[in-house]
A and B are shown apart, each in its own frame.
Chain A
Amino acid sequence: MIAAFAWGRASSWPVFPRWGRFYPVSRAELARVTFWSSLLQNAGHCAVTGLIFAAGGLAAAALAGGAVTPDGMPAFARALGLVFVVLPVQQWLRLRQARQMEAGGFRAATLLTIMLSFAFAVLVTLWTIGYPRPLRGSPRSWKR
């Protein structure tokens, strides 16, 4: 009932200045809107993730009594910037796969490429914040 109410309101309220300007949308406009909205969404996700990371680092430093300073924030910001490099390539692969599936073909190579690119992004992010450091060396070298 709530959904029906909301849908009815959405279809009758003048949400946009001129409804006809937005619907029907041309294909070029659709591509443009998708491009800018995805850019905005990625920026928002980066902002939220960066804030959480910074808050975690500051909280850890505060819990340590100011004995340590949070480092790795610039490195993590650079890793977050990789979102804007990697995601378009992943989306390209994903659309390619969707087209192949629509044509009736499942290609393991495409799926494998997508999974490998995800693994690459995750590994680069973990490596940037120094995750594998405790896995190398002896426990003596873990504390700087």
Chain B
Amino acid sequence: MEAVILIALAVASQLFYRRVLRAHFARADLA
């Protein structure tokens, strides 16, 4: 049960992180 909760939290967190990175690189000054 704990493992299932942990995995669900990790997946949700990683999806959130992917969104964060996409937003970051969309507005980042890459020059």
Contacts and interface: CB of A to CB of B under 8 A. Distances in A.
Interface of A: 27-28, 30-31, 34-35, 38-39, 78, 81-82, 84-89, 91-92, 95
Interface string B1-31: 0110011011001101110111011101010
Contacts of A38: 17
Contacts, number: 52
A84 B17 CA distance: 10
Nearest to B29: A102
A85 B9 contact: yes
A88 B2 contact: no
Given A31-B18, A31-B22, A31-B26, 13 more contacts: A30-B30, A35-B21, A38-B17, A39-B14, A78-B6, A82-B6, A84-B10, A84-B13, A85-B6, A88-B13, A91-B20, A92-B16, A95-B24
A30 B16 contact: no
B24 A31 contact: yes
Nearest to B9: A85
A132 to B, nearest CB: 20
